[in-house]
Amino acid sequence: MTSISRLPSGAGVGLRLPQIAEVVATRPSVGWLEIHPENFLANPHATELLTELSQHYFISVHSVGISIGSVGGIDRLHLKRVRALVDRINPVFVSGHLAWSTYGGEYLNDLLPLPYNLEALRLIEAHVREVQETLGRRYLIENPSSYIGFRTSMMSEAEFLSELVGRTGCQLLCDVSNAYISAQNMGYDVYQYIDSLPADAIGEVHLGGFTVEEDEASPGAELLIDTHAAAIAEPVWNLYAHAIRRFGARPTLIEWDNNIPLFAALLAEAAHADEVVAGTMALEARCADAC
Amino acid sequence: MPTLAETQKFFRNAVVGDEMAGIQSLIVGGRDASKRLEIHRRNYETSLVTALLGKFPATVWLAGTPFVSEAARHFVCEHPPHAPCIAEYGERFPGFLSACPGAERVPYLREFAELEWHVGHIAVAVDQPPVSLQEFSAINDEALLNMVLALQPGVRYLHMSWPIDELMKLYLTETAADSFEFSPADAWIQARGARGEFHMDRLDASEFIFRKSISEGQAIVGAAERALDADPTFDPGRALVRVVAEGLVTAIMSGSEGDK
Ligand SMILES: [Fe+2]
């Protein structure tokens, strides 16, 4: 299991393939880096560069292909390949999503939604155990961004995640932007959602940008799309401050996957996350003193 | 209440096959949740079409964006990926593309796209330490005949019926030739790459057959016999020295065991 002394102190950024040569060459000052293993498994050159970076930075491995919600089971070959990469770079976290992507041997290249009921919970519990056993470490599960729910859901997403933590000992990756997007799209109170997550289980936080579209399901209304193609919106920064108050400071990562800006812009977002944490913690300390 | 298996089957059919019947009554979201399925359909199609176009930029240059994009859209619906590593998706796209209506105007399209597929993979390879000529000469000649050689991971042997390496060089150098003579002709190509670089070299037929046979796991004697069938004047000894001297050999193995 990851020891506390190995946790990164400042905010990190997602490292995408187009930026890797620049990061190797310039070694920017940043708390840590997160990668998608699926981008590296068929790219020995990028893996070689990543291995070099792992000597200088905390690395987190964030899988988009370990489909813990698939009824067909985990793709064991893929999991083994992820394990080999994990063994090579010894990351600080390994995480994935509360979602499914594979059906009948097809990989649908998207994080698809699940009903929150007992059948899904039992299936995912078994799969998280399998992932943790194969990787030999704790797995972090990220809350999804949702556009669709299911009539067969019997519990809330926060209840489902809390149950999963209790049953498997996994940790949670709280994507504050995803929480905001899902709550806006599905019509519930996002502050209540954050308050009902098990704070002790939160191992990592994500922040990313979204895009606003017209909701074709409800003409005239807006739908938030989790594109990771823009700067982090103000309401998400506010929600992040609330999450920090509730969870305490957690290793936080900026995700930007499309229309990727200069690396300096990512570093600026990470620096802003650090400022939000510092400001929130200072305010909390003053409140505690005043009490 | 539908099972999770049924739910995922209906969802898959909506995302890949545009069949809404099964899923419609199971989902919620906005006033008409089925409209929101479009987001997942779009994520599936757009992300994979974009990935394919990104993998075949030279083919797009050759055949045009509208034609390749349309083919890619059909390809992702008919041939979903089977694994999460999208860099490995699309090996069958050259064949699919060349069978699309309109592809007949570019008879070398398949070979060109296949070359691009291989170039994309060898350019991200990492060279292994090569076996030296000294290590090689330490093995006695008779034993050597039955040895199998492992070659660098970033090397491919491609026999083409058009000189498509010339066309690829035109693309890579961004040369807009006023006129370009292009007619069918055998091209035996060795493509070699590593760490972001690659190059293509022409071989003569017998040298190509020798090296390709070795790359396919033939013992040296078998590779030499095949090359001699193509050209009785072929000199296997000299050819072998060239393969080693170029740093292509990474391991020497007996036909049935591991490293020697
Ligand atoms: Fe995220």
Q: Are B87 and A43 in contact (CB under 8 A)?
A: yes
Which pLDDT score, from 0 to 100, does residue A285 have? 86
Q: Are A178 and A144 in contact (CB under 8 A)?
A: yes
Q: Considering the domain boundaries, does residue A98 fall inside one?
A: yes
Q: Considering the domain boundaries, does residue A191 fall inside one?
A: yes
Go through chain A and tell me how many residues it has.
291
Nearest CA to A207 among A165, A268, A161? A268
Instruction: Give the residue-averaged pLDDT of A65-71.
Output: 97
Window from A282-291, B9-18, B53-62 with minimum mean pLDDT = A282-291
Instruction: Give the residue-averaged pLDDT of A163-173.
Output: 98
Say yes or no: B200 and B75 in one domain: no
Say yes or no: B137 and B241 in one domain: yes
Residues of chain A with Cβ-Cβ distance to B85 below 8 Å are 38, 41-42, 65, 78, 81
Say yes or no: B77 and B140 in one domain: no
pLDDT digits (tens, 9 = 90+) for B211-225: 999 999 999 999 999
**Bridge partner list, A206:** A175, A253
Q: Which two tokens stand for residue A196?
A: 């009902």
Say yes or no: B253 and B132 in one domain: yes
Residues of chain B with Cβ-Cβ distance to A100 below 8 Å are 8
Q: Distance between CA A41 and CA A122 in Å, rounded?
A: 30
B181, pLDDT greater than 90: no
The H or E element containing residue B253 is strand B249-254
Q: Are A119 and A156 in contact (CB under 8 A)?
A: no
B259, pLDDT greater than 70: no
What three-state secondary structure class fits B225? helix
Q: Considering the domain boundaries, does residue B95 fall inside one?
A: yes
Domain end: B106, B134, B164, which one? B106
Which pLDDT score, from 0 to 100, does residue A6 have? 74
Window from A59-68, A278-287, B80-89, B145-154 with minimum mean pLDDT = A278-287
Q: Distance between CA B101 and CA A65 in Å, rounded?
A: 34
Instruction: Give the residue-averaged pLDDT of A233-251.
Output: 97
Contact A106 B82 (CB under 8 A): yes
- Percent share of chain B, pLDDT over 70: 97
Which pLDDT score, from 0 to 100, does residue B256 have? 62
Q: Considering the domain boundaries, does residue A3 fall inside one?
A: no
Which pLDDT score, from 0 to 100, does residue A32 have? 96
- Minimum distance, in Å, between the CA of residue B16 and any CA atom of chain A: 8
pTM above threshold 0.90: yes
Say yes or no: B100 and B142 in one domain: no
Domain end: B58, B73, B106, which one? B106
Instruction: Give the residue-averaged pLDDT of B165-173.
Output: 93
Say yes or no: B102 and B132 in one domain: no
Residues of chain A with Cβ-Cβ distance to B15 below 8 Å are 108, 110, 112
Say yes or no: B228 and B132 in one domain: yes
Q: Residue A138 belongs to a domain with what CATH number?
A: 3.20.20.150
Which pLDDT score, from 0 to 100, does residue A64 have? 96
Nearest CA to A93 among A160, A170, A194? A170
For A50-89, the DSSP string reads: HHHHTTTSEEEEE-SS--TT-TT---HHHHHHHHHHHHHH
Say yes or no: B47 and B135 in one domain: no
B109, pLDDT greater than 70: yes
Q: Distance between CA A182 and CA A156 in Å, rounded?
A: 12
Q: Confidence band (pLDDT; 50, 70, 90) for A217?
A: confident
Say yes or no: B152 and B235 in one domain: yes
From the number of C-beta atoms within 10 Å of its C-beta (0-12, 13-18, 19+), residue A61 rates as buried
Nearest to B86 among A38, A70, A75 (CB): A38
Q: Distance between CA A252 and CA A275 in Å, rounded?
A: 12
- Minimum distance, in Å, between the CA of residue A166 and any CA atom of chain B: 22
Nearest CA to A7 among A280, A245, A204? A204
Find, in chain A, the residue whose alpha carbon is nearest to that of B38.
A216
- Percent share of chain B, pLDDT over 90: 87
Structurally, chain B folds into a number of domains equal to 2
- Alpha-carbon distances of B66 from A201, A267, B54, rounded to whole Å: 49, 37, 14
B255, pLDDT greater than 60: yes
Which pLDDT score, from 0 to 100, does residue A161 have? 98
Residues of chain A with Cβ-Cβ distance to B44 below 8 Å are 108-110
Contact A46 B44 (CB under 8 A): no
Q: Considering the domain boundaries, does residue A160 fall inside one?
A: yes
A282 touches chain B (CB under 8 A): no
Mutate to test the interface with B, among A22, A103, A109 (most CBs of B within 10 A): A109
Instruction: Give the residue-averaged pLDDT of A47-73.
Output: 97
Q: Considering the domain boundaries, does residue B113 fall inside one?
A: no
Contact A71 B8 (CB under 8 A): yes
Query: A243: domain range?
Result: 12-290
Contact A218 B5 (CB under 8 A): no
Query: B148: domain range?
Result: 125-260
The H or E element containing residue A130 is helix A118-135
- Minimum distance, in Å, between the CA of residue A253 and any CA atom of chain B: 23
Find, in chain A, the residue whose alpha carbon is nearest to that of B9.
A103
Q: Which two tokens stand for residue A217?
A: 């399901």
Say yes or no: B65 and B152 in one domain: no
Distance A207 CA to ligand 1 centre (A): 7
B-facing residues of A in 94-123 (CB < 8 A) are 100-110, 112, 114-115, 119-120, 123
Q: Considering the domain boundaries, does residue B120 fall inside one?
A: no
Say yes or no: B248 and B139 in one domain: yes
Residues of chain A with Cβ-Cβ distance to B33 below 8 Å are 148-149, 217
Q: Considering the domain boundaries, does residue B83 fall inside one?
A: yes
A2, pLDDT greater than 90: no
Q: Considering the domain boundaries, does residue A223 fall inside one?
A: yes
Distance B243 CA to ligand 1 centre (A): 48
Strands A149-150 and B27-28: antiparallel
pLDDT digits (tens, 9 = 90+) for B117-162: 999 999 999 999 999 999 988 888 888 899 999 999 999 999 999 9
Nearest CA to A249 among A215, A216, A284, A224? A284
Please tell me what DSSP assigns to residue B247.
T
Domain end: B106, B133, B158, which one? B106
pLDDT digits (tens, 9 = 90+) for A100-141: 999 999 999 999 999 999 999 999 999 999 999 999 999 999
Instruction: Give the residue-averaged pLDDT of B85-106.
Output: 97
Burial B9-22 (b: 16+ CB within 10 A, else e): bbbbbbbbeeeeeb
Q: Confidence band (pLDDT; 50, 70, 90) for A5?
A: low
Q: Considering the domain boundaries, does residue A143 fall inside one?
A: yes
B17, pLDDT greater than 90: no
Q: Considering the domain boundaries, does residue B115 fall inside one?
A: no
Structurally, chain A folds into a number of domains equal to 1
ipTM, 2 dp:
0.93
